[in-house]
Structure 1
Amino acid sequence: MSIKNKIKTFFTMDDEYEYEYIEEEVTSTQPNQIRQTSSNVIDLKSVKASATKMVLYEPRTFDEAQQIADNIVSKRAVVINLQRVNHQDAKRIIDFLSGTIYAVNGVIQRIGAQTFLCAPDNMDITGSISETLEEDFNKGW
């Protein structure tokens, strides 16, 4: 073997190695999954599973604030009616939930005299409820 061939085999890759090609079969993990092609077809089961939930709470003590916060962290909107809580506990609950809302980049809105909506960042809240309507209702309209 000449020096030229030795240098060529040193710097280039000869077919000394054997390559084994393995074809893997692609299987779906979900048996009822509909494959989406270029058309705009959506599986309704997946839409229902991804729908967000709303939870209603009417706490009686401050101790229930942790359960409400757990729902917010789990990406569920929560409507809280504070009519059955004394004023000091209601303020503590709103302060606690405000911190939770801040942590998840959510929104808290007053929707009634003692009713609040806490929504995580995956929900968009549009519109507002006017305070004057609440005053007119309290006057007897």
Structure 2
Amino acid sequence: MAWEWLKKWGQDTPRVHSFSPRSFEEAGEMATRIAEGDIVLLNVEHLEWEIARRVVDFLCGAAFVACYCCHRTGPYNYIFLPGGVEFSEEFAQEAEKAPGGEPEEASHVPPERETPEPEPPAEAAGGPEEPEPSPEEEPEETPQPQVAPEEEPQDPQNP
């Protein structure tokens, strides 16, 4: 499929393009290279996490339409290959030696950049909630009412 596109563009073999974008606006050019049947190397190291995720998602969509496959070759590195191009173990081993680290399976989140936990809303529908005591804090003891011990009922026949 991608090879048919190569012939359409007058190419016999795919060209290799390396990108290290600084903004999402550069993703369009990378998608064009994918549509032309070329190999795209992507390094998202210089992007903020959210922008990097958007770029990778956008290019994965373009790759799907063009019958490409995407491989993550390092924490910040991806390669987009036409369907007829093989991703070999030798290439994966070479990618490990390249700047960017070891190959990992499909996760778009670089290990150093974790998604921040969203903060819970301050007020619920019923009004503000009492904060839960932290495990380090000792809960305050509520004074218990003093109850007099019950006397046992006496048997009227045995005084």
Aligned to 2:102: 134
Distance 1:84 1:90 in 2: 8
Give TM-score, length-normalised by structure 2.
Answer: 0.49
Deviations 1:26-50 (A, max 9, x none): xxxxxxxxxxxxxxxxxxxxxxx62
Gaps of 5+ in 1: 1-48, 136-141
CA RMSD in angstroms, aligned pairs only: 2.2
Aligned to 2:43: 81
> Once the two structures are aligned, what percentage of the paired residues are identical?
23
Distance 2:39 2:63 in 1: 11
| DSSP 3-state at the match of 1:116 | strand
Gaps of 5+ in 2: 1-10, 104-159
Aligned to 1:58: 20
Distance 2:18 2:28 in 1: 14
After TM superposition, the structure 1 = structure 2 runs for residues 1-141 of structure 1, keeping only pairs within 5 Å, are: 50-127=12-89, 128=92, 134=102
Please identify which structure carries the higher helix content: 1
Contact 1:75 1:122 in 2 (8 A): no
| DSSP 3-state at the match of 2:87 | coil
Give TM-score, length-normalised by structure 1.
Answer: 0.55
Distance 1:118 1:108 in 2: 5
Distance 2:84 2:36 in 1: 10
Contact 1:60 1:84 in 2 (8 A): yes
Contact 1:113 1:134 in 2 (8 A): yes
Report the CA distance between 1:86 and its aligned residue.
Answer: 0.6
